[in-house]
Amino acid sequence: MSLRDDVGQLFTIGFEGTVLPPEAERLLTEGRVGGAILFVRNIEGIDQVCALNASIARAARDDEEHAPPLLSVDQEGGRVQRLRAFATDVPSMREVGNACSAQGGEPDLAYRVGALLAREVSCLGFGMDFTPVVDVDTNPANPIIGARSFARDPAVVSRLASAFVRGMQEAGVAACAKHFPGHGDTDMDSHLALPRLPHGMERLNRVELPPFEAAVRAGVSAIMTAHVVFDALDPTRPATLSTAVLGPLLRTRMGFTGVIISDDLDMKAVADNFPTETMVQLGLEAGVDHFLCCRDLGRAEAAIATANRLAERDTAVAARVRESAARMRALKKRFLGAYAPPDPREARQVLRAPAHLKLVDRVRALQGTA
């Protein structure tokens, strides 16, 4: 693979509309972009999503030498469900946590919900679901986490998130634990501003970090960074761009060998504070393997161009790029295999299957007794 091919593996793009726009197709083809993400704005129905995902795969892979793109979606359950119009309406992870509590803390339901989500996104052509949220919901004023978290207790989040990860990945979809090293205690939405947490290491070791350590032990394939400043770790940069956070803490201490994925570079927490070129440079230095550019194709193009320039003029950056690209290709080999376009007829047999509806009914019934 050329260095340019490797750089492309470091990016996932998003776009507007329900068909692949020419500028996105060009980035996928010419930029060798490694992935694409869909949101509600891209989704109308089963046939349309299958056709769109197939068109993305065709654009990004024009010969047998190039891996298919990693198609991803945020299908968490609860209020974050991009496929709500036609997929099973999965309860929030807080409801799953409550249901598990009603059964004495056993994590079986979390495992089964992870597998359910995997089956439903996989039948539409997605290879990664950006879930579970393993943040601990310790701040009632948090505007962005809340019921997306399994619980307010780090031990409960650790146990249930681990089971969820195993369920999802054993059903054939890459899971992504987020938002490292913990977004649960913020009182700001990082889509809108840059949060800061003043907690010392004793608190982080006790509350925020254990669920991520548990997810690593469970074999989670990817971990998403938080656009949050942690004073005890790096008082000047958000975790996404911090060498003090991603290297020493996540790679060395926790022993994580999978893919480190940035949260969206379009979010105001970073986009309003760092130029695109700086985000990419600092992210690469920090150890980010894969960057999300979820809406702004102009920013995505600038980010890819920056990564190419940095890699071409600096052998250390080039080595980092090749290392990250290898991690991405290993993830794709594990979860994508021989790519085939999704079949809408098969998808209709999976989505809202009777067994899936029965499972979510049981979760809702149990959580009401917790």
Is the residue at 231 inside a domain? yes
Answer yes or no: is pLDDT of 64 > 60.
Answer: no
Catalytic residue among 5, 66, 189, 191: 191
Percent of the chain whose predicted confidence (pLDDT) is above 90: 92
Catalytic residue among 74, 263, 264, 296: 263
Query: Known catalytic residue: 264?
Result: no
Residue 61 has pLDDT above 90, yes or no: no
- The amino acid occupying position 240 is T
Token pair listed for 102: 């009603």
Predicted confidence at residue 65, as pLDDT, reads 55
What's the number of domains the chain is made of? 1
Phi-psi region of 110 (alpha: psi -120 to 50; beta: other; left: phi over 0): alpha
Amino acid at 1: M
Q: Is residue 65 part of a domain?
A: yes
Domain, as residue range, for 26: 3-362
pLDDT-based confidence at 367, cuts 50/70/90? confident
Within a domain: residue 317? yes
At 190, the pLDDT band (50, 70, 90 cuts) reads confident
Does residue 370 lie within any of the structural domains? no
User: What is residue 35's predicted lDDT score, i.e. its pLDDT?
Assistant: 94
Q: Is the pLDDT of residue 326 over 90?
A: yes
23: CATH: 3.20.20.300
Residue 223 is assigned to a structural domain of this protein: yes
- For the segment 218-241, the average pLDDT, to the nearest whole number, is 97
* Nearest Cα to Cα of residue 366 among 113, 79, 149: 113
- How far is CA 141 from each of CA 100, 144, 150, 187, 232, rounded to the nearest angstrom? 25, 9, 16, 6, 22
Q: What does the pLDDT read at residue 370?
A: 62
CA distance 178 to 97: 17
In the annotation, is 289 catalytic? no
The proportion of the chain whose per-residue pLDDT surpasses 70, expressed as a percent, equals 98
Mean pLDDT (the chain, rounded): 95
Give backbone dihedrals phi and psi of 341, rounded to 5 degrees, phi first. Answer: -60, 145
pLDDT at 33 over 60: yes
Q: What pLDDT is stored for residue 345 in this prediction? A: 97
369 found inside a domain: no
Please report whether residue 80 resides in a domain: yes
pLDDT of residue 337: 73
- pLDDT tens digits, one per residue of 132-171: 999 999 999 999 999 999 999 999 999 999 999 999 999 9
Specify the pLDDT at position 66.
60
Q: Which of 358, 350, 359, 357 is nearest to 112 (CA)?
A: 359
pTM: 0.96
Residue 367 included in any domain: no
C-alpha to C-alpha distance for 255 and 253, rounded to whole angstroms: 6
Can you tell me the distance from the alpha carbon of 56 to that of 125, in angstroms, rounded to the nearest whole number?
A: 10
For the chain, list the strands marked E by DSSP. 11-13, 35-38, 70-73, 75-77, 80-81, 128-129, 174-180, 196-197, 222-225, 229-230, 259-261, 291-293
